[in-house]
Amino acid sequence: MKVLHVITGLGVGGAELQLRSLLQHTCHQSDVVTLYNP
């Protein structure tokens, strides 16, 4: 199964750390897209 995570930023907050932990422990192919407006 392919999973796409769309997030609004790559800060150092709790949500980003939870996503990192989730991706390390999943058997699915995952991609992350970051929405960023400079």
pLDDT for 4 equals 93
Residue type, 2: K
Give the start-end residues of each E strand in the chain.
Answer: 2-7, 29-34
Spans of all domains in the chain:
2-34
pLDDT per residue, tens digit, the chain (38 aa), is: 999 999 887 777 778 888 889 889 999 999 988 888 66
- CB half-sphere exposure, 26, CA atoms < 13 A: 14
Rounded Cα gap, residues 17 and 19, in angstroms: 5
pLDDT at 38: 64
What distance in Å separates the CA atoms of residue 29 and residue 18, rounded to the nearest whole number? Answer: 17
